[in-house]
Amino acid sequence: MFKTHTLNVPIELVHLVHDNKLHEALGIYLLLKASCDGHLFLSVEQRSCIMAALGLKDVRTFKKHLDKLIQLNWVGYNKNSRTYYIRSFKTLRVQSGFHKYLSAVFHVSKDAANITEFIQGVLLCFEIKRRMRGRNSKVAKIAGSSALKKGRALHELKANGDISVYIGLSLEKLGELWGVSKSQADRIKKRVSKLKYIKTKAKYNIIHTSSKPDFSLFKNLPSNRIYDVKRRKRNGWVYYEFRERSYDEIISLMEFVNQKSIVRRLNIANEECL
């Protein structure tokens, strides 16, 4: 049924949807958009297909979100012809004043069934990209842009504390990002990781090194944290690292596209209209 299999969703639209709890409404908008060339007569079959893709069971829920889309003017409706007009992303950009270049790639076959996790994944991956860009700018400022391609230079900057060792967010920061508690943030992180929107790597802080695995060292440490002992061997010498679990490294696996040319053209058009 769907004519288009991927859509480039403006990053600010994703933020707006999350802030206003419009997750399912966005899913319907995207699938309506993927179903036509801008307008359609919504048949029962098409509606059922969209509902199935999003996992919606109740027609009343579908109609509620569709009415919200019409109210937002993301979708227009002609009562006489019973035709729906699906506004373009360009129209939504102008309508809402979106100016950021980045858009997230929405895959109909995968992301429709996981629309909430898609939105949460986009927010997280965008934040990871933002932090990575900030760190790269700092590297270029301290050691020159060529240092970004030199492993030794990056290692020295990390060792000196000039840049972060890795990019990640604590559960507290994830909770702030998604507007949820730390326990909810942990569950969301696991879901978006399972869907391969992100990849995580466990990280630890070494709190002690010893030649023996003496677990009694943990007795005087806070009990609400995770600890372990890692056996190491270097130059024939066996030793043990006593470690405290830190927040995970997070690697973005989602696709983004830069739509600078589109945004710039829209800005020029807006100035001419004024």
How does 44-72 read in b/e, with b if 16+ C-beta sit within 10 Å?
Answer: eebbeebbebbebeeeeebeebbebbeeb
pLDDT tens digits, residue range 79-104?
999 999 999 999 999 999 999 999 99
**Which backbone phi and psi does 57 adopt, to 5 degrees?**
-100, -30
Q: What is the 3-state composition of the chain as percent helix, strand, coil, each rounded to the nearest 5?
A: 55, 20, 25
Lowest model confidence (mean pLDDT) among 66-70, 160-164, 181-185, 201-205: 160-164
The one-character DSSP state at 213 is -
User: Per-residue pLDDT tens for 104-144?
Assistant: 999 999 999 999 999 999 999 999 999 988 877 777 677 77
CATH class of 6-101: mainly alpha
DSSP code of residue 217? G
186 contacts 234 by C-beta, under 8 angstroms: no
Strands (E) in the chain, as ranges, are 6-10, 39-40, 75-78, 83-86, 102-107, 198-201, 204-210, 227-234, 237-245, 249-252, 256-258
224 versus 253: the higher-pLDDT residue is 253
* pLDDT score of 272: 36
Where are the domains positioned within the chain? 6-101
Nearest to 86 by CA among 108, 70, 71, 67: 70
